[in-house]
Amino acid sequence: MPLAFTNYFVLLEQTSAFASNLLSLLPADESVRHIEYYQLGKLESQSEFRVILQNETLRWALYILVLTLLIFLIFESKRRQRIIPIVLPLKNHTLEFVQTLGQLHHNQEDHKSLAQKRILFWKDHVRSRFMLRTDRMDEAFNLELSRKSGVEKASIDALIQLIVRVEEGSSLTEGELMLMEKLMNEFYGIE
C-alpha cells in the first residue's frame, strides 16, 4: 500500500505510527525492491479524451470534427476580396443650372435684376484683377481701366454708361441687356 508512505499519512499523528511500523518490518540487511507498477501509475491513457477515444463511434466523431475544423481553417484563411462597386462619375450640371437661371430671368423679363448680378461680378473682376476701386466710376477710372486692361476707351465708356444707368434705378430693355452683355464679353476677351 504505497499511499501509507506519502507525506499525507506520515505527517498525521494517527497514521504516522502505521508507516513507521511497516518500515520496521523490512529486513535491515536486504535492499528494498522497486516495483514499476506503482511507479508508472495506471496503464490506461491519462488523456482528457480517454472516454471518447475508448468508444469507437465517439473516436470517429472526434476525427471528423477535427478534420472539418482543419478544412474550415484552410478555406477561411484565404484572403477575401470585396467587390469594388462601380462609381459613376458626377455629371456637370453647371450648364443646366445656367440655362435654368437664364430661362427664369427670360420668362420673368426682369432684365434689371440680371444686369445687377452681372455688374456685381464685373466689379469683383475689376477689383481683384486690376486692383481698382469701383465705388466711383468717373473719367479717371475709365482711363486707368482702359490702360490696365488693354480694352479701347470707347468700349469701356459705353459699358460704364450702361452700368451707371442700371445702378441709378432706371429700367432696362432686352436690347440694352444684350448690348451690356456684348460689351462685357469684349472686356473679358470673349468673342
> pLDDT 10s digit of each residue in the chain, 191 long?
677 778 877 888 888 888 888 888 888 888 877 666 555 556 666 677 788 888 899 999 999 999 999 999 988 887 777 888 898 888 888 888 888 877 877 778 778 888 888 899 999 999 999 999 999 889 999 999 999 999 999 999 999 999 998 888 878 888 888 899 899 998 888 75
| Cα–Cα separations (whole angstroms), residue 84 to 78, 81, 90 | 18, 9, 18
191 vs 185: CA distance, rounded Å? 7
Nearest to 179 by CA among 103, 111, 107: 111
167 close to 153: Cβ distance less than 8 angstroms: no
In sign, the C-alpha dihedral spanning 3, 5, 10, 14 is positive
98 vs 183: CA distance, rounded Å? 20
pTM: 0.48
Domain ranges of the chain: 1-43, 46-78, 110-188
Nearest to 23 by CA among 43, 53, 1, 45: 1
Q: Residue 139 is placed in which grid cell?
A: 473719367
Residues 6+ apart with CB under 8 A from 143: 153
3-state secondary structure of 72: helix
